[in-house]
Structure 1
Amino acid sequence: MNGRGALQHPSGALYEGELKGNMYHGTGTYTFPDGSTYKGHFHNNRLKGDGAFTDTQGLVWIGEFLGKAALGLKMQHTYTKQA
């Protein structure tokens, strides 16, 4: 597979994004079975580069991902404007 596409896994996980040589490669979104998501860069099926992980509570963690490691992540704050 090459180009853009979506893959639904039997576990309930979903990948939407760029594919190269039958692997996640480029930018995309991976939704885990628990509903958490990673949006960012992939290289040969691995999280690699800048990205954002949204956990099951809706907190967004941004930073650099290197496979299973994610050093120096920062929580993204959302501010609401009050009248």
Structure 2
Amino acid sequence: MHGRGTLQHPSGALYEGEFKDNMYHGTGTYTFPDGCTYKGHFQENRLEGEGTFTNPQGLVWTGEFHGKAALGLKMQHNVWTT
């Protein structure tokens, strides 16, 4: 796989984005089977660089991702005024 595309996994996970040498590489969105999403940069199938992670409840964290590590993430807060 090379270029932009979509890959649906049997688990229900979905990747939409850039591929290089059959790997997630570049920008894309990965939707986990539980509904969590990661939008950002990938390098050789790893979350790598600036990205946004959203959990099923809608809480959003942004920051630098490095594989399984994501130190210093910032949670986005919605402030509602009436």
TM-score relative to the length of structure 2: 0.95
Matches within 5 A, 1:1-83: 1-82=1-82
Percent identity, please.
77
Give the CA deviation at 1:54.
0.1
1:49-74 per-position Cα deviation (integer Å, ceiling 9, x unaligned): 00000011100000000000100001
Q: Which amino acid aligns with 1:43?
A: Q
Structure 1 position 81, deviation (Å): 5.0
How many angstroms apart in 2 are the aligned matches of 1:52 and 1:68?
14
| Unmatched 5+ stretches in structure 2 | none
Distance in 2 of aligned mates of 1:67 and 1:42: 9
Question: Deviations 1:11-67 (Å, cap 9, x if unpaired)?
Answer: 000000000000000000000000000000000000000000001110000000000
CA distance in 2, matches of 1:79, 1:27: 29
Residue correspondences, number: 82
Instruction: Give the Cα–Cα distance (whole angstroms) in 1 for the partners of residues 7 and 50 of structure 2.
Output: 22
- Give distance in 2, aligned partners of 1:65 and 1:12: 23
Structure 1: where are the runs of 5+ without partners?
A: none
